[in-house]
Amino acid sequence: MTDSDDAMRRSDEDRALLDALFTQSPVGLHLVDPELRVLRFNTAGLGARSWRAQDIVGRRFTETYGLVEPRETEKLVREVLESGVPLIDRVVRARPEADAAHDRLYSVSVFRLQAEDGTVLGLAAAVVDVTERERARARMRVLDAARESVGSTLDVAVICRELADIVVPAFADTVVVEVVDSVMRGDDPPPPPLPPGVPLRRAAFRSRAEGAPQAHPVGDVRDIPAPTPYTQTLTDLRPRVLSLNDDPPWLAADPARAEAILGSGAHTLLLAPMTLHGTVLGLISLYRTGQSDPYDEEDVTLALGLANHTALCIDNARRYTREHTIAAALGRPHLPCRPVPHTALETVGMPCSPEDGVGWCDTIALSSARSALVVGEVAGRGIHAVATMGQLRTLVRSLAAFDLGPDELLARLDDTVKLLDAERAALPPTDALHHEPLAATCTYAVYDPLSHSCTTASAGRPSCVIAHPGGTLEIPDTATGPTLGEADSTPFAATTFGMPEGDTLALASPSMTSDPAGEPGILRQALSRADRPLPDLRDEILFSFAAHAAATPAAVLLARVRRFPSDRVATWQIDPDPTAVAAARRHVRAQLATWDVEEETADNTGLIVSELVTNAVRHGRPPIELRLINDRALTCEVRDTSPAAPHLRHARTVDEGGRGLFIVGRLAQVWGTRYTAEGKTIWAEQSLPSPSG
């Protein structure tokens, strides 16, 4: 075979291949000259069988096929013609003359044709109808976006708005999301079928048309008139697609919706119930208007996917709302309603809302005009954390009544936390608390206004700052004890530091963020101007945490030292002699007369002083000191250096002694013993009448 015969054979093969492609291939092939006029096209291609050659050949490529954006397409095609770089799989939108009411999507690939000498002959374009493929991809993008974005919060209204923002305009021209009103409040959803008259709250509305009419505003609560497709969908839980053309008769049952539908020009409605485990949470109404295509079965599948995901997010939010409501109701009785008044101390504090922790702060009136300051935190959230917080706060207040030192009180508290944690570990493995160890922190401080000192101990890292008058700050060198319940044998240590009049002490739970130096930087910054009222100072601290995006403490407590009136304290040194008892009674009588204390209280105080001084003289060690404090109560206390303390016992009728503390216990409202490194103090309190009498 000669070369000419071989060339002729290849030419015949090429011609046969082109003829087959342009007459039989399902891909739309087009041959276009440099002026973008169609020279030849594939009559077998999709959508081209009804076209006539005389209507296509000779016309410009971009003016023939009903392109929605012909100028943009022409620009792309000319770039291929000029650069020779092919355009591959570019999706364009068109409205073919045979079906101008609906858009079609075509994948277009364009290649430059040129002769062996480089002369540009034109373009070859391959067109494939990818309408269904692109619609499927668009549906998947909507569903993926919903799974990624819907449910970012635990607020039902926000969840519904997130869904509305995703489906409009990607899947609907208008959307209405309605939720059963009881679900919005955190209650259990009703079982199907939804009873007539159950109110729904319109949680979200969105439309691509600005100022689109609404049947009811967002937030409106009302039941849906029946029978309508809306009520039927909530009854049988079956999605449905309805044509809104030709004024369907059910619109008459709901005039408000009918007016909104007609005003928006909606032609198709897709209803999808939001259900979970057979219960009804709400309804999604999707509308298409204008030139948008009606919904089909694939759209119904997507709508159900959106409804199911949204229902799951709403149920999570509902459960959180319910648990939060219960936790708030449970925790409220465990928190102080208002600050306890202290003569020498002004306090203000509040529990905060950290990401993971339940906190409390407390001020407790102690004996001898002293005050206890408490800041604590329980790890975790929800009902169980709040209940544990209530247990620990109650326990701290109970232990404080025993006049324990801060370190000893925390040791007792730690024992209880370990016991509670062991009880959790003993729960069945199926119980959620079995796998949730109990962890808590607590800072306990005792302020004595008569010695101007504060003693503190901490379970966990303490956040403590003192602001002195004039703006100088001090961070006490306080010891860090183990977290409550931690398997650490390190004992708790107490630290004492001075706090004269005008100082402001700030305590925060250890969950707060510290600066790189390990110091509570936000507290220091706010306390640099501590001359403001304490409520304003507390607010600035909380606002500063939010502004710095720092971890918020579970509780903040501020205490400002005030002067304790010197004329409301009287102190006498007692000789270790039985005759000193009578002298002590005379001193007390004279002082009570100066304070204008009523006669009955003065008589009782005289008896109490007699018994306490007698005990100190007989069983204590000098020096002995008697002190009388006129504060919220009348306190009588006797100090000596002996560590041994008498105990209350009921003397028998034949006993000549032993009734001292028994008498004290009957006359005083409360009494106790307080130990120090120097010895002990036995004190007794009597209530005083209010100023109003």
Alpha carbon separation from 55 to 43, 48, 221 (Å, rounded) = 12, 11, 59
Place of tokens 């860090």: 480
Beta bridge partners of 463: 508
Q: Is there a single domain that holds both residue 262 and residue 352?
A: no
In 3D, which of 267, 283, 286, 265 has the Cα closest to residue 275? 283
- The whole-model pTM stands at 0.60
DSSP of 336-360, one letter per residue?
-SSPPPBTTEEEEEEE---SS-EEE
Write down which residue in 84, 112, 129 finishes a domain: 129
The encoded tokens of residue 152 equal: 């970012």
The encoded tokens of residue 504 equal: 């402001």
Provide the terminal-to-terminal Cα distance of the chain, rounded to the nearest Å. 134
93 neighbors 100 (Cβ within 8 angstroms): no
- Any domain includes 27: yes
**Average pLDDT for runs of 10 along the chain of length 693:** 59 59 66 82 55 65 73 84 85 71 78 83 82 83 88 88 92 92 82 80 90 87 87 90 87 88 90 90 92 87 92 88 67 58 83 68 90 89 78 91 92 92 82 76 93 92 84 85 83 91 85 43 74 83 68 78 90 87 89 89 86 85 91 90 65 46 77 85 84 45
Parent domain of 614:
566-687
DSSP of 656-672, one letter per residue?
SS--HHHHHHHHSSEEE
**Alpha helices by DSSP H, 246-296:** 255-264
Please report the beta strands in 429-494, taking only residues with DSSP state E, as ranges in sequence order: 440-448, 453-459, 463-467, 473-474
Which pLDDT belongs to residue 307? 93
Name the DSSP class of 674: E
Alpha carbon separation from 62 to 92, 97, 570 (Å, rounded) = 11, 14, 105
Backbone angles phi, psi at 105, to 5 degrees: -115, 130
Q: How far apart (Å, rounded) are the C-alpha atoms in residues 246 and 612? A: 99
Count of beta carbons in the 10 Å neighbourhood of residue 238 = 12
Beta bridge partners of 30: 41, 125
- Any domain includes 11: no
Which pLDDT belongs to residue 553? 65
In 3D, which of 535, 513, 523 has the Cα closest to residue 357? 513
Backbone angles phi, psi at 348, to 5 degrees: -155, 140
Q: What is the CATH number of the domain that holds 342?
A: 3.60.40.10
Q: Is there a single domain that holds both residue 673 and residue 647?
A: yes
Q: Is there a single domain that holds both residue 350 and residue 483?
A: yes
The encoded tokens of residue 116 equal: 């062996």
Which pLDDT belongs to residue 475? 85
The encoded tokens of residue 675 equal: 């130990």
Write down which residue in 74, 109, 129 finishes a domain: 129
Q: How far apart (Å, rounded) are the C-alpha atoms in residues 35 and 39? A: 10
Q: Compute the chain's Rg from CA coordinates.
A: 42
Beta bridge partners of 481: 459, 460
Which pLDDT belongs to residue 23? 58
479 neighbors 438 (Cβ within 8 angstroms): no
Q: What is the CATH number of the domain that holds 255?
A: 3.30.450.40
Instruction: Tell me the CB-side half-sphere exposure of residue 372, using CA atoms within 13 A.
Output: 28
Q: How far apart (Å, rounded) are the C-alpha atoms in residues 520 and 497? A: 18
Which pLDDT belongs to residue 326? 66
Q: Is there a single domain that holds both residue 97 and residue 143?
A: no
CA angle, corner 691, sides to 687 and 502, nearest 5? 85
Q: Is there a single domain that holds both residue 595 and residue 448?
A: no
| Helix or strand holding residue 609 (H, E) | helix 599-619
Q: How far apart (Å, rounded) are the C-alpha atoms in residues 71 and 499? A: 80
Q: Is there a single domain that holds both residue 358 and residue 296?
A: no
- Any domain includes 659: yes
Determine if the peptide bond prior to 510 is cis (ω within 30°): no
Q: How far apart (Å, rounded) are the C-alpha atoms in residues 248 and 685? A: 84
* Spatial CB neighbours of 587, under 8 Å, sequence gap ≥ 6: 570, 572, 626
Write down which residue in 129, 164, 192 finishes a domain: 129
Which pLDDT belongs to residue 106? 81
Place of tokens 């039902």: 156
DSSP of 417-447, one letter per residue?
HHHHHHHHHTS-TTSGGGGS---EEEEEEEE
Q: Is there a single domain that holds both residue 484 and residue 583?
A: no
DSSP of 136-184, one letter per residue?
HHHHHHHHHHHHHHTTSSS-HHHHHHHHHHHHTTTT-SEEEEEEEHHHH
Q: Is there a single domain that holds both residue 434 and residue 470?
A: yes
Structural domains counted in the chain: 4
**How many residues make up the chain in this entry?**
693
Q: Is there a single domain that holds both residue 425 and residue 525?
A: yes
270 neighbors 300 (Cβ within 8 angstroms): yes
- Any domain includes 630: yes
Amino acid at 232: Q
- Any domain includes 3: no
Amino acid at 214: Q
Q: Is there a single domain that holds both residue 314 and residue 188?
A: yes
Q: What is the CATH number of the domain that holds 54?
A: 3.30.450.20
Q: Is there a single domain that holds both residue 185 and residue 216?
A: yes
In 3D, which of 347, 485, 351 has the Cα closest to residue 411? 485
Which pLDDT belongs to residue 313? 92
Q: How far apart (Å, rounded) are the C-alpha atoms in residues 274 and 180? A: 10
Which pLDDT belongs to residue 321? 76
Q: Is there a single domain that holds both residue 142 and residue 262?
A: yes
| Helix or strand holding residue 321 (H, E) | helix 297-331
- Any domain includes 692: no
Which pLDDT belongs to residue 650? 45
In 3D, which of 110, 93, 135, 139 has the Cα closest to residue 29? 110
Beta bridge partners of 574: 624
- Any domain includes 351: yes
- Any domain includes 532: yes
